[in-house]
A and B are shown apart, each in its own frame.
Chain A
Amino acid sequence: MDMKRSYYRDLRLFDTWPLGLWLVVCAALLALVPFFAGNYLMYVLGYIAINAMVALGLNVLVGYTGQISLGHAGFFAIGAYATVLLAKAGVPIPLALVAAAFIAAAFGFLLGLPALRLEGPYLAVITLGFGLTVENIFAKAEFFGGATGPSVPPFSLSLWPGFSREQNLYWLIMLCAGGTILAIRNLMRTRVGRAFVAIRDSDVAAACAGVDLTWYKTLAFAVSAAFTGVAGGLFAFHLGQVDPTTFNLMLSILFLAMVVIGGVGSILGPLLGAVTISLLNLKLKGLKLADFEQIPLAGKEIAGFISRHFMETGMANIQFIVYGGILVLIMVFEPLGLYGLWIRAKRYWRTWPL
């Protein structure tokens, strides 16, 4: 039998060495992508990684601390604007990203204050209001560049000699995403993370065991906002522009969907959720009538039905119908999210061939 001989065994990052090896291999492959892949693959992977950072950050709040936020697009926007404006003012990009994290965290603290008294749907409405307010302040205020947003300075950071702009940005995004995974994983196996989970499972017992609810609830908002803020800053460079209308309610809901679809309260869950939603987003964006004709068996009929019953301008919204349908299916068949699917698969193989 596998005996544990040191307390550190319980603390280790990976339970078993094959898992550790796998993760190292995956990380190495991702790091090597710029050497052999084109810009499009880097763009897609970068987009996924940015969303994964947000999903992981949001999961600290939703999955681990048991609070809710429908306003994370607000933190995403705050991070994007802070990074861009600081970089334009001449602050080095890494420093601007760190500053964006702290600025977003400060707003996280503020939004966390009502969470002390409210929960569930009431908290959802407050955070919803926050998201809408932030979106509109950025879109309407002259200082922030109004409806067109501020221009994004060129991404000038160099991480490897001879790398292009895209390659450098890709590496920075991956470094930040990797750092996020490690930081959150570590946080959750030490004192602060345990306090978060304790608040979720029983706030009364947590308080009676010495956990300061005021501090830890607001801290959870701040931590969550900080990671989202950094992701927002990277997003601005990734897209090369800041458009205030992207930071809308739909985006907040998509972030939440990533966490829920993936499976709350784990690291792998939000990662899987972010991959799924990001790919759906990218693939469904350019959906055209011709794509439906390629569906096997009933393709012609479906395309015919759509062209007969949908307005020409409504075509753009078909992606949301497909999208919504997929989300419904995932939740119906796997209420624990994609992470639940993973757990089930693992259990199946462990007991195979039973």
Chain B
Amino acid sequence: MTALLEVEALEISFGGVKALHGVGLTLATGEILALIGPNGAGKTTVFNCISGLYRPQSGQIRVAGRDILGLKPHRVAASGIARTFQNIELFRHLSTVDNLLLGRHLYLKTGLFSGMALLGPWTPAAKEEMRHREKVEEIIDFLDLQAVRSQRVGNLPYGTQKVVELGRALAMEPKVLLLDEPAAGMNLEEKHDLRIWIEDISKLFGIAILLIEHDMQFVGELADRVIALNYGECIAQGTPDEVRSHPDVLRAYLGTPSAEVKQ
């Protein structure tokens, strides 16, 4: 397996706070890698650096061998990276279909004037729209979103919104998918569906997945490898079981045992 996404020695600080200190990871095609760590460990910061929202002070980020560090977010997206957000960032006033269609933005070509000239099904703009709607409907079928396809996403339940966001990322047909706490706030049934979808995305579509998640059971069932972060540094990596029982990880989550407990 070749590394699709390579992140090396990321350093970023905000004011006096070192948010990331030498964080590195590699992600191979078809692999699912989980990032875990207590709140404020720097997990989302890693995502923001990869997707171009933050500019790390030093380090390297490559996708399929191409350097993407310092690119603007839309250029990063064009290089094959899609993401979801911890606090849902959907286009609230658009329908599910339109949210997913926006995910096709990179593939659509209709410009200002050809868009204004959409006068009937024979115009190029309409033909292109219909072609991409077909792709979007496939994703809607895959994620079971038919019931809400024409509804405004702002009115949908939280769990469904998370799925729509996943759908939008999928519509981008990425090489690498970054999922920021995809299961947060979902009930058991939703989590179960989500786990199967993520497995399918990885196995059927061959998309490499990097995921942040607090639910260790979810991570254990899904991830091939886990990296644990604390205070902006990698403290452990390996299989889910190895990381779960790593003493540094236990200390990060539970603190050091007090003298009484030791006795």
Contact = CB atoms under 8 A, between A and B. Distances in A.
A189 interface: yes
Given A183-B116, A198-B102, A208-B83, A192 B110 contact: yes
A212 B106 CA distance: 10
A191 B110 contact: yes
Interface string B8-38: 0000000000000000000000000000000
A186 B91 CA distance: 19
B91 A191 contact: no
A102 to B, nearest CB: 12
A313 interface: no
A212 B74 contact: yes
B168 A209 contact: yes
A17 interface: no
A187 B102 contact: no
B74 A213 contact: yes
A211 B137 CA distance: 21
Contacts of B117: 186
A219 B52 CA distance: 22
Given A209-B168, A212-B74, A192 B115 contact: yes
B4 interface: no
Contact of A197 (B77, B91, B103): B91
B129 A207 contact: no
Contacts of B94: 194, 197-198, 201
Interface string B221-253: 000000000000000000000000000000000
Nearest to B98: A194
B165 to A, nearest CB: 8
Contacts of B83: 208
B227 to A, nearest CB: 22
Contacts of B121: 8, 11
A265 interface: yes
Given A207-B73, A210-B106, A192 B112 contact: yes
Interface residues of B, number: 47
A7 B172 contact: no
Given A202-B91, A204-B85, A191 B130 contact: no
Contact of B102 (A184, A209, A212): A209
A193 interface: yes
B126 A11 contact: yes
Contact of B129 (A11, A200, A204, A219): A11
A7 B134 contact: yes
Contacts of B125: 186, 190
A68 interface: no
A189 B102 CA distance: 11
A314 to B, nearest CB: 44
A210 B118 contact: no
A178 to B, nearest CB: 13
B203 interface: no
A7 B53 contact: no
A106 interface: no
A193 B72 CA distance: 21
Contacts of A187: 112, 115-116
A340 to B, nearest CB: 14
Contacts of A119: none
A204 B53 contact: yes
Contact of B115 (A191, A198, A207): A191
B89 A186 contact: no
A208 B102 contact: no
B112 A209 contact: no
Contacts of B78: 210
B66 interface: no
Contacts of B53: 204, 207-208
A251 to B, nearest CB: 26
B130 A202 contact: no
Contacts of B110: 190-192
Contacts of A219: 112
A202 B98 contact: no
Given A190-B115, A202-B92, 7 more contacts: A186-B115, A187-B116, A194-B98, A204-B53, A204-B85, A208-B74, A223-B112
29 contacts: A7-B129, A7-B137, A8-B126, A8-B130, A10-B97, A10-B133, A11-B118, A182-B116, A182-B119, A183-B116, A189-B129, A190-B115, A190-B118, A190-B129, A191-B109, A195-B105, A197-B93, A198-B91, A198-B94, A198-B102, A201-B90, A204-B53, A205-B90, A205-B168, A207-B53, A208-B53, A208-B77, A210-B78, A212-B74
The 4 closest A-B pairs by CB, nearest first: A190-B115, A207-B73, A205-B89, A201-B91
Interface of B: 51-53, 72-74, 76-78, 82-83, 85, 89-94, 97-98, 101-103, 105-106, 108-112, 114-119, 121, 125-126, 129-130, 133-134, 137, 150, 168, 172
